[in-house]
Amino acid sequence: MEYNVVKYIHIITATVLFGTGMGTAFFMLMAYISKDVATLKQTTHHVILADWFFTTPAVIIQSITGIWLMNILHYPFNSVWFAGIIGLYVLVGLCWIPVVVIQYKLRTIALNVKNNDALPLQYHALMRWWISLGIPAFVSILIIYWLMIAKTGLGITLI
């Protein structure tokens, strides 16, 4: 019973992590494309909230349930599979942390722009960084999903 509960929580939080990321990315991009400053202000505010309410807890719970499942299943922590998952998970985190900081900067800039004024060049530069960091993060999550399903490299130990 314990295994099924932990696996269920792990799958739900993986879904929340990916779904929230896809949803917030979509709405941020749509707001940016609209060039409507009021929409950007509101959307950026909501994206930041979504990161705090959904993404952050999912990241924490994913780590806990992942290690818990490894222990339950007696999977080796020195496997190529685990190294790949941890490496990609760290890469996602290294992309996500700057993205959160960028979102705060984008919100601050948008809040200081009058609704009819054009966005400053800094806003556009930050959005390019935001997109550039989001792409490898999403690709990495897709690869993690594949590794979780296929278990490729599970039987190969590093040392």
Q: What pLDDT digit, counting tens, does each position of 97-143 carry?
A: 999 999 999 999 999 998 778 999 999 999 999 999 999 999 999 99
| pTM attached to this predicted model | 0.90
* 142, two tokens: 């897709």
Alpha-carbon distances of 81 from 17, 86, 113, 131, 154, rounded to whole Å: 21, 9, 48, 28, 5
Q: What's residue 152's pLDDT?
A: 87
Would you list the domain boundaries of the chain?
2-150
DSSP alpha helix (H) spans, 35-79 = 37-50, 56-73
Q: What pLDDT digit, counting tens, does each position of 75-95 carry?
A: 999 999 999 999 999 999 999
* 51, two tokens: 């990161």
